Structure 1
């Protein structure tokens, strides 16, 4: 892991792999809750963790360099969000072909997988879910759809995701849900936040 300054009041942790991202995300959240880190935002991404709103970046970088991640301490680490999912996505046959199995086997695998929110991005409330093995990564569509309906459950690369609102998108559609994933009036607005465990269950 490498630490570098970003602007006047932020640090960026460059991590070696997604597991290290999650370990540092959890450790930094724990340290902030314990009063050992003064930061406004801690934002994980695919290969980095941004620590923003830091009054003294140099001092914070020195402290972080001396810490060792202790594991997942997400506030809801023991909780699990069940997402009622109807598996009728138009790209299910393509996913099955890529995995070398039948459509029922794809559905069964997705239902049995415990996903974890790695990071959020692309659109408000859009969570990138990890949990599938690397060999089951699937390519994005060569030409993205101009409109993907809200609630669409989809796969791309090593991730699963759920579109919180209608938008263009190139992920492979495997199902849909009626669960509201982003509400500006809720606290927090996003239903799925980094570290949250997720199950794509059948209603």
Structure 2
């Protein structure tokens, strides 16, 4: 009887020991940032008024010179095309070598990163939206209709650009959202955002 009890106890010790070993993971099994697939896009400027780089403020009629940061986290070398919009209209920018262009092409290897400074020579006084859009493999078109995850194709960053001093907010129009998720009878399919409409600022 005593031998049987000792045998059963030894059996459970061996089983528990083996079970512990099966759940152990090496450092190679732990995912890291380098294994994440996608792209990283940043828009920075010394004139930022907040740590998240959401608002940039410059002097009236002064050049705007933000820095664009992009990193390729895709497993293979990828081409990217950067587009620039001011107040939702494509605009031309100057690069470091003073070349004027409406877009910039970049080719990055796996995990390669690059920073580019661009310049808009003259920004008129007022509140503006400045947007950078990075498109991956822009010349690669689909042969047939199929679903493609947007995060694998493009990424954008937007900042509110203030040129000069904006002292009054009397012309801001607030439009309430009702439970039916529409504005003035029109359905909306995107998240609300602040933008420009004529001379007023519309908060949707």
- Give the alignment's TM-score, normalised by structure 1: 0.23
Q: Which structure's CA Rg is the greater one?
A: 2
Q: Choose between structure 1 and 2: higher helix proportion.
A: 1
Structure (1 or 2) with the greater strand fraction: 2
